[in-house]
Structure 1
Amino acid sequence: MIPHLVTVGHRRPGGRRRRLYVPVVPVLLVLSPLLPLAALAGLVACLAIRVSPAGALRGIGRLLWALPGTRIEIEHGGTAVLVSVR
């Protein structure tokens, strides 16, 4: 299942918080004209480093399938970043 919403939270050292909601499907629709260029670049990269393009595509598919429910929290000093994929 493709993720539907990515939430990015940011807390600055002063305690102020910001949260950004990114809907995945509209972003993909806007960026879809660049998909053939990205596919071509990926194919060239696979051939350059001698990786099977089918295997790379299968790995990307598995990664996308596993993304929903992922939470990434990074804290450094007084700054914190939270990325949540739903």
Structure 2
Amino acid sequence: MMPQLVTVGVKRPDRRRIRIWVPVLPAVLVLSPLVVLAVLGAVVACRIYRLSVVRALGTGWRIVCALPGTRFDVEYSRTAVLVAIR
């Protein structure tokens, strides 16, 4: 299943927390011209390195479908960025 929601939280030094919810499907629809260019770039790269295009795109899709439930936190100094994919 494709991810549905990405939650981005930022903890700032002044202890205020900013939380942003990004729905994935509308974001992909808005960025679809860039997605098409990325797929075309992947096809060209597969041809250059003599890889199976279908297998590479299938593997990429399986990675995207495995993203729900992923969470990662990045902390630098007193600022932290928390990202959760649902």
In which range does the TM-score fall when normalised by the shorter chain? Answer: 0.7 to 0.9
The percent of aligned pairs where both chains have the same amino acid is 53
Is there any run of 5+ residues in structure 2 with no aligned partner, and where?
A: none
Cα distance 1:46–1:81, how it changes in 2: closer, same or farther (>3 A)?
Answer: same
Identify the residue that residue 73 of structure 2 maps to in structure 1: 73
Give TM-score scaled by structure 2 length: 0.86
Q: What is the aligned partner in structure 2 of residue 9 from structure 1?
A: 9
Corresponding position of 2:85: 85
Shift of residue 21, structure 1, vs aligned partner = 0.7
Q: Counterpart in 2 of 1:44? A: 44
In 1, distance between residues paired with 2:24 and 2:31?
11
Once residues 6 and 36 of structure 2 are traced to their aligned partners in structure 1, the CA distance between those partners, rounded to angstroms, is 24
Q: Which runs of 5+ in 1 are unaligned?
A: none
The one-letter code of the counterpart of 1:38 is A
TM-score by length of 1: 0.86
Q: Deviations over 1:32-54 (max 9, x none)?
A: 23443222111112222333222
| Alignment partner of 1:61 is 2:61 | yes
- Residue 21 of structure 1 aligns with which residue? 21
**How far apart are residue 20 of structure 1 and its match?**
0.9
Residues paired across the two proteins, number: 86
CA distance, structure 1, for counterparts of residue 28 and residue 84 of structure 2:
18
Quick check: 30-39 or 15-24, which moved more? 30-39
Shift of 1:55: 2.2
What's the C-alpha RMSD, in Å, of the aligned pairs?
A: 1.5
